[in-house]
Structure 1
Amino acid sequence: MNMHTVTARTDRRSDTPTTPWPVQLARTVVRRWPLLLGVAFAVFNLVTDDNSNALGALMVLLVATTAYVVIAALDKPSWSWSVLGVLVVVVVALRLLSDNVALEMGVFALVIVGSIIAGLIRGLWKRSGAYRWQPFAAVGFLAVGLIALWLDPVGGRVLVGVGLIGHAIWDVVHWRRHAVVSRSLAEWCAALDLTLGAGILLMLA
């Protein structure tokens, strides 16, 4: 290879137009929309939530926990966003019917227990990997929510914040393994949980 060939190749590279930064930014936004949407939802929750209690953040943790175990019991990752949508509708409906937090917790606890039983009957919890740990994770995060209700407001918010960060780690595990739920939902949930959980703890510092 002579110098003329090297120079010609270098010239061709330099002549190749670079992608304008607005286009690159738009592509990044399109590619990372679950992450950005999760962060935006968390910020909205932090700004509008009542800082005297942890109920808003607790519902986020409860919905995320329930969504995972329901999707796992259905064994339908492609239904991830549909399941989440149904659970959000359930939360809104319960809020319109009553402001009783115990009622909301009771309904979601029944859904979680029902999903665990359904998965047990179908033999899904015998699978290796993330499926095997779904019942334990669901019960663990549900317990965090129940204990948070018994604590004082500050203690409850601290526990919920830690629980959300713990669930963010759980989200990342599913995202990396392409397991149980869709990757877009796992990414959205990780961004939401981590931002909201860290935000709660920082506001208490």
Structure 2
Amino acid sequence: MTKLPEHWPILAGIAAAALIGLDMSEGVDAAPALAASALVYFGAAALRKPSAVWPLFFGSVVVIFATELLGGGGVDPTWVILALAVPFLAYGLPQGRRSPDTPPPYGGWSYHLIAMAAFGTAAAVALGVTETVGAYVVAGGLLAHAVWDAYHYRINKVVTRSLAEFCLVLDTIVAAVIVTVTVTD
């Protein structure tokens, strides 16, 4: 059996960013990716299972593509992804309140709740402003999420290190693509 390179998430992040970039006509097109990046971390924190991140990531990709493919009745995939945060909120909030000092890797529920609210709000705001402003909001949100990724990569808690590394590369490249697409329009 062939062994994956040590930093395969970097290669996967580059490939995923290329796919997103090829499909992007406006920077605000990546708003669902910003919402999904927050949802993956939020879901893992709510479930208290770092191993849930990859299924959550692939599930969010399916939701985004399915919403776009089916037309979503005019609903942007960002709204669907944000709606999916509600069950995680309902599940995680009582547990987070019951055990605010839960030892790592599950502690810090309130930080993940705040992060979901912040990144989710940025994705939603991006949909309600001009395309140029929305593009910069999404790019800024993705860069902020890249910092969140780097932090989680370093502490190796809440999410798997492979997902944090993948997401760091993906978020950074997509943010750069958004700025490039927006500046050249």
Quote the offset at 1:168 in angstroms: 0.5
Correspondent of 2:140 among 162, 170, 182: 162
Q: Which runs of 4+ in 1 moved over 4 A?
A: none
Is 1:141 paired with 2:119?
Answer: yes
Query: Alignment length, in residue pairs?
Result: 177
Map of 1:16-95 to 2, 5 A cutoff? Answer: 30-51=5-26, 53-55=27-29, 57-95=30-68
Q: Which residue of 2 aligns with 1:187?
A: 165
Q: 1:104-125 deviations in whole A, cap 9, x for unaligned?
A: 3332222212212211111267
Correspondent of 1:116 among 79, 89, 102: 89
Q: 1:68-108 deviations in whole A, cap 9, x for unaligned?
A: 11111111111211121122222222222224563533322
Tell me the TM-score normalised to structure 2 length.
0.85
Q: 1:90 to 1:48 in 2, by over 3 A?
A: closer
Identity among equivalent pairs (%): 31
Is there any run of 5+ residues in structure 1 with no aligned partner, and where? 1-26
Correspondent of 1:131 among 109, 114, 117: 109
Is 1:130–1:174's contact at 8 Å kept on the other side of the alignment?
no
Q: 1:107 to 1:44 in 2, by over 3 A?
A: closer
Distance in 1 (CA, whole Å) between partners of 2:158 and 2:178 is: 28
**Paired AA for residue 33 in structure 2:** V
Moved more, 114-123 or 151-160: 114-123
Distance in 2 (CA, whole Å) between partners of 1:118 and 1:58 is: 25
Give the aligned CA root-mean-square deviation in angstroms. Answer: 2.3
Distance in 2 (CA, whole Å) between partners of 1:184 and 1:44 is: 19
Distance in 1 (CA, whole Å) between partners of 2:181 and 2:70 is: 31
Q: 1:123-163 deviations in whole A, cap 9, x for unaligned?
A: 26724764330000001111101111111111111110111
Is there any run of 5+ residues in structure 2 with no aligned partner, and where? none
Q: 1:143-188 deviations in whole A, cap 9, x for unaligned?
A: 1011111111111111101110010001111111111111000100
Tell me the TM-score normalised to structure 1 length.
0.77
